[in-house]
Amino acid sequence: MSKTTGTVKVQTIASRNSFERMPSSRNGNPRFRVTFTDGTSAPTMPDTMWAYGAANPEHIGVELEVHYNGRGHITYARPVTR
């Protein structure tokens, strides 16, 4: 079995309208499809803690270091520090 590693990209979320609510995970946790200013979008990974805070104003309009798993789901994001 081969292990697929994820990727990390620097992206920006434009506004609160950049979040589309998706059906909850099997365990009842929230999921979102997030659209970035470069036009790309990706869903949050099921049952990831980041989905609870994804739409917080602190993530909007700032560069984020966005972590993806091998399936293209967002697993985590945090503001870029320089």
Q: Where are the domains of the chain?
A: 7-79
pTM given for the model: 0.84
Q: What is the mean pLDDT of the chain?
A: 87
Q: How high is the pLDDT of residue 2?
A: 37
The CA distance from 75 to 55, in Å, is 14
Mean pLDDT throughout 22-40?
A: 94
pLDDT tens, position by position, 39-55: 999 999 999 988 888 87
How confident is residue 3, by pLDDT bands cut at 50, 70 and 90?
very low
